[in-house]
Amino acid sequence: MIVSEVARHGGWESSFISSALQAVETVEAYKPDVLLIDRFMPDITGLEIVAKLREAGHQFPVILFSGDTADLDEAEVARLGITAVLTKPISLKELRGWLNKFGKPNEEA
């Protein structure tokens, strides 16, 4: 939830989502510019959610958060086209830097 608040404070529109089903529904409804997702979620992993979204044709940038990257499959990360993996605790400066790479808040494409 802190990530969502940081994005919102920086002028980005953001939504906090806590389940895979909610994530898929929200992406379908709002077509985000970038997806910020945790590796471990209550029902399935963030990687599984990204795989489902990619299968549905969504190609937006993805920033994955994880407190444990030691066993993260780098080939899977690359196959899914994940833009960045940030290790928790997340540096807010680094997060803002990544968000700014995708355009400024409220900026028309």
pLDDT at 97 over 60: yes
Contacts 24+ apart (CB under 8 A), 90-96: 90/3, 90/65, 92/6, 95/3, 95/6, 95/7, 95/36, 95/63, 96/6, 96/10
CB within 8 A of 33, min separation 6: which ones? Answer: 60, 61, 102, 103, 109
Cα–Cα dist 75/77, whole Å: 5
Domain for residue 108, yes or no? Answer: no
- The sign of the dihedral angle between the CA atoms of 54, 57, 63, 65 is negative
Averaged pLDDT for residues 66-95 = 91
Q: What is the pLDDT of residue 11?
A: 73
Q: How many alpha carbons lie under 13 Å from residue 74 in its C-beta half-sphere?
A: 1
Averaged pLDDT for residues 73-84 = 96
Q: What is the pLDDT of residue 106?
A: 57
Residue range 11-68, pLDDT digits in tens: 777 777 777 778 888 888 888 888 889 898 878 899 999 999 999 999 999 999 998 8
Cβ neighbours around 63 below 10 Å, total: 21
0.85 surpassed by pTM: no
Domain for residue 6, yes or no? Answer: yes
Q: What is the pLDDT of residue 54?
A: 95
Kindly report the CATH number assigned to the domain that includes residue 81.
3.40.50.2300
Q: Which structural domain range is residue 97 located in? A: 2-101
Which is more confidently placed, 39 or 96?
39
Give residue 38's identity as a one-letter amino acid code: D
Q: Specify the number of domains making up the chain.
A: 1
Q: What is the pLDDT of residue 53?
A: 93
